[in-house]
Amino acid sequence: MQHQPVPDDIARELSRLTEGEVRLSPHDRGLYATDASLYQVQPLGVVIPRYIAEVPNLVRFCHDHQLPILPRGAGSSLAGQTVNRALVFDFSRYCNELLEININNRTCRVQPGIVLDDLNNALAEQGTGLFFGPDVATSSHANLGGMIGNNSAGARSIIYGRTVENLNALDVALADGRTMRFYEGAAADDPQVREITEQIAAVVLKYASEIKQRFPRTRRRVNGYNLDLILTQLEKGGLNAVNLSHLCCGSEGTLALTLSAELKLSPLPVTRGLAVLGFASLDEALAAVNPIINTHPSAVELIDDMVMKTAKLNQSARPLLHIFDSLADRSDTDINSALYVEYYADSAEELSQHFAALDRTVPDVPALYLHKAEEMADAWALRKAAEPLLHALPGLRK
């Protein structure tokens, strides 16, 4: 495996395979040496494909010349997924098209570099009444390729699940440049996919009892390969029920490069409302979560004491704390933590019923019930600011 920056002759050949860019300067390698994590590793270089059709040849070339590759979207990963001593393939620049929408099937097909907000804005502009459900806090820049790589999940994962629950199919390039389409039933249609599926099934079935016993049963688990999902598919319908796109999802680009994805879309909610509940302590807020889940919210999110304290010290976040002043007026004790409890509903009456059920569930907790879009946007802006605020903490607490 080569670990020196790419020699000139290889770089020239690589450049001939794309109308995009091959960037090898120290400056460019420095730009791609980090992501939203605290890791810093200089890549070998950066390839920015102009067209998706170029990617299989580029990958094959890298395979033949033993150049490690690392796909990248917006680089907003928190655990160093997009930094390594490799040739970084940046899909965000050019390979970001919405390829197809099928309103009847509630699906769309996208290139990997499309930004989540851009996708949902395009679906809204075209009047589809549909959107992609998983809503990462970084939606203004996260790419679908990166969301698939991380199996990302957002605040509303209670109803929409993770990215994998919203993924039908992937067109991929394998490490040697071969292209395949992974979907449920592909093992019956494509002998190459069948061969890979058989090999994966052999591993999964060998460790079936371990997978069943030891995979954590948490709702938003996104770490590790989705062997549990593949096992469930195998047990349901054998090789033909396996959808290898679900194995690629969450594999952090280690199994294949996403060239395009077929996504499941969800209907936009008719109306929504947000309850902000104030608690004297973090423990009290956490104790309320399970009973609240039984009232069928679309999201339950925590603002803890650390976020509140850090926001007070931050010029742009401080004004967003005003909702807690109104809550404090309704409370005998200080508000040190809060829960956002959001409901989707088909009518104003249904929304009122949800809020009433919440009130019965936590009757003594001071609450604000927000209906206006601007008020809710302010509240969510604070929640979205939480992660960057915590990033700015000095010292070991960070």
Ligand X SMILES: Cc1cc2nc3c(=O)[nH]c(=O)nc-3n(C[C@H](O)[C@H](O)[C@H](O)COP(=O)(O)OP(=O)(O)OC[C@H]3O[C@@H](n4cnc5c(N)ncnc54)[C@H](O)[C@@H]3O)c2cc1C
Among 96, 120, 128, 152, binds ligand X (CB under 6 A): 152
Give the integer Cα–Cα distance in Å for 386 and 391: 9
114 burial type by CB count under 10 A (0-12 exposed, 13-18 middle, 19+ buried): buried
Binding segment (CB under 6 A) for ligand X, from list 130-138, 196-204, 341-349, 353-361: 130-138
Q: What binding mask, one character per residue, do residues 234-273 give for ligand X by CB under 6 A, x or -?
A: ------------------xx---xx---------------
Amino acid at 134: P
Give the integer Cα–Cα distance in Å for 272 and 149: 30
Nearest Cα residue to 86 out of 162, 134, 143, 33: 33
Q: How far is the CB of 75 from ligand X (least distance, A)?
A: 5
Scored b (16 or more CB within 10 A) or e, 158-194 reads bebbbbbbbbbbbbbbbeebebbbbbbebbeebeebb
Q: Are 229 and 204 in contact (CB under 8 A)?
A: no
Q: Are 163 and 151 in contact (CB under 8 A)?
A: yes
Site for ligand X contains 142 (CB under 6 A): yes
Site for ligand X contains 138 (CB under 6 A): yes
Site for ligand X contains 35 (CB under 6 A): yes
Q: How far is the CB of 222 from ligand X (least distance, A)?
A: 6
Q: How far is the CB of 291 from ligand X (least distance, A)?
A: 24
Scan residues 89-128 and list those touching ligand X (CB under 6 A).
Answer: 91, 112
Among 76, 197, 226, 245, binds ligand X (CB under 6 A): 76
Binding segment (CB under 6 A) for ligand X, from list 41-49, 139-147, 181-189, 232-240: 139-147
Give the integer Cα–Cα distance in Å for 300 and 71: 32
Site for ligand X contains 297 (CB under 6 A): no
Q: Which two tokens stand for residue 227?
A: 């062997």
Site for ligand X contains 150 (CB under 6 A): yes
Site for ligand X contains 86 (CB under 6 A): no
**What is the CA angle 192-198-201, rounded to 5?**
140
Binding segment (CB under 6 A) for ligand X, from list 135-143, 224-232, 362-370, 371-379: 135-143
The count of residues in the chain is 398
Token pair 């605290």 is at which residue? 38
Q: Are 147 and 248 in contact (CB under 8 A)?
A: no
Site for ligand X contains 389 (CB under 6 A): no
Binding segment (CB under 6 A) for ligand X, from list 24-32, 140-148, 175-183, 372-380: 140-148
Site for ligand X contains 146 (CB under 6 A): yes
Give the integer Cα–Cα distance in Å for 181 and 172: 6
Nearer to ligand X, 230 or 256 (CB): 256
Where do contacts with ligand X occur on this chain (CB under 6 A)? 35-36, 70-78, 81-82, 91, 112, 136-138, 142-143, 145-147, 149-150, 152-154, 252-253, 257-258, 387-388
